[in-house]
Amino acid sequence: MRLDDFKNIDIQTAGNLPAPVKAVLMGLLFGMMVAGGYFLIWTPSLEELDTAKNQEASLRITLTDKRRMALNLNAYKQQMKEIEKTFGTLLKQLPDKSQMDGLLTDINQAGLAQGLVFESFKPSDEVISDFYAEKPISIKVIGSYHQLGHFAEEISKLSRIVTLNNVVIVPLPKDSKETKEGQLAMEVIAKTYRYLDAGEIASKKHMQSLNGGQK
């Protein structure tokens, strides 16, 4: 088989070509078909296969996450029940509007029971929040260190939530008529809280809607 055998090949007389030449031509034709199939058919299919494999990996991760969430669902539900129970308990410690006067009296009585002298007891206007109202009370009392400490302790024992803020304790001036040995003056902002009733919450939401959602 020589190179000249491949020159001037006539397709019409290709059947009369020598066997070796036919074999080479068939090999070239087969190679062209394989190359064409690879670029036109196999390459897009391989790309689709890679895409499918990546999607499968992503779906497996998503499935694993969903299974984990499903396994923890009961635990989440139990946590929600505990949170709701705790919130309900705290909410019960907030008085409603009708109980506020009684609570203010309890705070006053807690000081008097310790022998404190009240120089001032001034409730301020309420500060309204989402579902509760904060009631600040400016208090100034005179007493001994132990009396002041017992007063704070009694406040913490009240069934309703009361916090003591901005506490300032100073000794009384020696020339004061009320001065006794070891007497101190304490100024404090006591804050108590009450929950808003349904009517107040509805009214608050209505006002927010009128003001464009502003609190």
For the chain, the domains span 1-92, 97-201
| pLDDT given for residue 190 in this prediction | 92
Lowest mean pLDDT among 25-29, 78-82, 125-129: 25-29
pLDDT digits (tens, 9 = 90+) for 66-119: 777 777 777 777 777 776 666 556 656 566 666 778 888 889 999 999 999 999
Percent of the chain with pLDDT over 70: 60
Residue range 135-145: average pLDDT?
A: 92
Say if residues 108 and 151 touch (Cβ distance below 8 Å). Answer: no
Q: Would you say residue 184 has pLDDT above 80?
A: yes
Separation CA 199–CA 186 (nearest Å): 38
Mean pLDDT value across the chain: 75
DSSP string, 36-75: HHIIIIIHHHHHHHHHHHHHHHHHHHHHHHHHHHHHHHHH
Residue range 159-173: average pLDDT?
A: 87
Q: Would you say residue 37 has pLDDT above 90?
A: no
Q: What is the pTM of this model?
A: 0.50
pLDDT digits (tens, 9 = 90+) for 204-213: 666 667 776 5
| pLDDT given for residue 53 in this prediction | 77
Judge: domain 97-201, CATH 3.10.129.10. no
pLDDT digits (tens, 9 = 90+) for 188-199: 999 988 777 667
How many other β-carbons are positioned within 10 Å of the β-carbon of residue 189?
A: 15
